[in-house]
Chains A and B, each alone.
Chain A
Amino acid sequence: MTPIGPQHYLIVSGLLFSLGLLGVILRRNLLVIYMCLELMLNAANLALVALSHFNGKLDGQIVVFFIITVAAAEVAVGLALIVALYRKRQTAHVEDLTALKL
């Protein structure tokens, strides 16, 4: 059995990232899209932590803390926005975002 190396972590994080991207493209509910975006951020976090371990440098793990903090701020603002939109339109589906068109 081969030991787990950086490439395994990269494959898993790449899979997570692609799943998140697929979700953003295919799903129609704003909240689910937002969850998929978080999944993409966490794919990057996983890659950073793992590669930072294999590089023998801590910088990557520090960046992960920044990313978690910023993602928390982004979620706070984002959920507030989605809730405000829901109150106004009674919907959280992307098909209903049609006020702004040509």
Chain B
Amino acid sequence: MNYSLISMEIAVVLLGLGLLLADLWLAPPAKVRLGYVAAVGLALIFGWSFTFSGTPSALAFSDMYVLDPLALYFKRFSLLAAIVVLIMSVGFAERIAAGISEFYALILFALAGMMFAASANDLAMLFVAMELITVTFYVLTSFQRARLASLEGGVKYLIIGALSSAFLVYGIALIFGTTGQLNFDQIAAVASKYEDNKIFLLGVFFVLVGLCFKIAAFPAHIWTPDVYQGSPVPAAAFLAVGSKAAGFALLLRVLFTAVPGITNGWNHLLIALAIVTILYGNLCAIPQRNLKRILGYSSIANAGYLLLGVAALNNAGRAAILYYLGGYLFAVLAAFLVILIVMNDAEGEDISVLAGLNQRSPLLAAVLTCALVSLAGIPPLAGFFGKFLLIRAVLDEAANNPACYWLVAVACFGVVVSIYYYFGVIRAIYWSKDPPVLSPIPVPRVLGAALVFCLLGMLYLGLFPNHLVETTQDAVKFWAGR
């Protein structure tokens, strides 16, 4: 037992429990500011995480838990996302009728789940971490109980989530039944014997379906737009960034640590999943008018792009996933921050609300434009370089598998389609005829700082990608060589 390895998770959970306790003694106005306390606490834990950097991969709890550079990358990623989401929640507090401290605490508990997921090395650990995230998000998405849309989004998330966890659990049962193992390393040691075993393959497929729910990819993507539209803005942002990253952490570990042989044999299945996800997300986004719904479909499309890195089946692809997630974090959080501030001012989330945003607040207009440009993948922002790395990784593999050219073609087509619908939003910002209101939008100072932080993150990753690219490549190389 080496408890020091999970000290970051323990700190996050204790912080969450501390918030719940503090809630008992504080007056309502002070409760709102607990979000800042939590954000500062997470920032300290984020700094503390760098003291773990030197340690090579360490296993704990009968090898259920692994702390390696890959896990550390995902942990820092989730911490960063949670800090921005907590700041957003403080800005959102007035629209949450009661229980704002619970909202903060639930964000922290979901974060703990994501951090455990980053380190999962065992099917039982995978299940518990994933359910910790999912069950917490059932509450977060439906937190505005008085809004029908929030409740309905929550119920849809609940049904699809429970369905996919049933698939996941049954898959785990089948894998355990055939191999007798739950640990990823031990499954990997025996998996080659079972590559023709239909029951084992079905089990792996079911686990894959369960994980596709988390990353919002085909065939379990159907909930995404409804839940994004219905849930409170900070919950939707955390769902888009943290939950998706945790899903990819688990997907990478299962596919490439536990069953690498089967993954290589399933390259066509993975390519098909990526193609369908990209096409569905991008094509369905075209007629949308609700900004959160557009981001929901864009989240599906981005899951498809990220699957490119899985289908590439090489280290470059896996490193590209990590890099792309980094750029995605800043772009999506920036977009949701702008939605939060603009919708604070006006009710409704239709694109038309953005009319004249350029005159009302140039900062918001610039940040939202940059975020959408980065999501679309136009240079020089982070999204472009991420897509470039992903496509290059797939092309490296194309010599072995000609289907990769189709994948690249579809990805490029998806990018063109996405430019079309993102540009629809940008046109509303800058070139709307006769905007109904032109009063300036006040930007609270802390939210403004978060906006600038996201903007700088996008620019930095786009203009100086070397540092993060090296970090991700080292993490993946270390993980592959373990």
A13 CB contacts on chain B under 8 angstroms = 170, 173
A100 touches B155 (CB 8 A): no
- Kindly state the interface size class of chain B when it binds its partner: 35 or more
Q: Is A19 among interface residues, defined by CB-CB distance under 8 A? A: no
Q: Specify the main secondary structure of chain A where it touches its partner.
A: helix
B154 CB contacts on chain A under 8 angstroms = 81
A30 touches which of B148, B159, B177 (Cβ 8 Å) = B159
Given the contacts A30-B155, A70-B131, A100-B153, A55 and B180 also touching, CB distance less than 8 Å: yes
A60 CB contacts on chain B under 8 angstroms = 173, 176-177, 182
Given the contacts A20-B166, A37-B166, A97-B152, A59 and B182 also touching, CB distance less than 8 Å: yes
Ranked nearest first, the 10 interchain pairs of A and B with the lowest CB-CB distance are A51-B177, A40-B166, A47-B173, A44-B169, A55-B180, A100-B226, A44-B170, A37-B162, A70-B131, A44-B173
B155 touches which of A48, A55, A97 (Cβ 8 Å) = A97
A55 CB contacts on chain B under 8 angstroms = 176-177, 180
Chain B 137-150 interface mask (CB, 8 Å, partner A; 1/0): 01100100100110
List A residues 72-102 near B (Cβ within 8 Å): 73-74, 77-78, 81-82, 84-85, 88-89, 97, 99-100, 102
The distance in angstroms between the C-alpha atoms of A34 and B155, with both chains bound, is 11
B199 touches A24 (CB 8 A): no
Q: Is B288 among interface residues, defined by CB-CB distance under 8 A? A: yes
Given the contacts A60-B176, A100-B153, A100-B230, A89 and B148 also touching, CB distance less than 8 Å: yes
Given the contacts A6-B177, A84-B145, A99-B148, A43 and B162 also touching, CB distance less than 8 Å: no
Taking the closest CB of chain B, its distance from the CB of A87, in whole angstroms, is 9
List B residues 148-197 near A (Cβ within 8 Å): 148-149, 151-156, 158-159, 162-163, 165-167, 169-170, 172-174, 176-177, 180-182
B176 touches A102 (CB 8 A): no
The distance in angstroms between the C-alpha atoms of A58 and B154, with both chains bound, is 36
Q: Is B263 among interface residues, defined by CB-CB distance under 8 A? A: no
The distance in angstroms between the C-alpha atoms of A67 and B168, with both chains bound, is 11
Given the contacts A82-B155, A100-B149, A63 and B172 also touching, CB distance less than 8 Å: yes
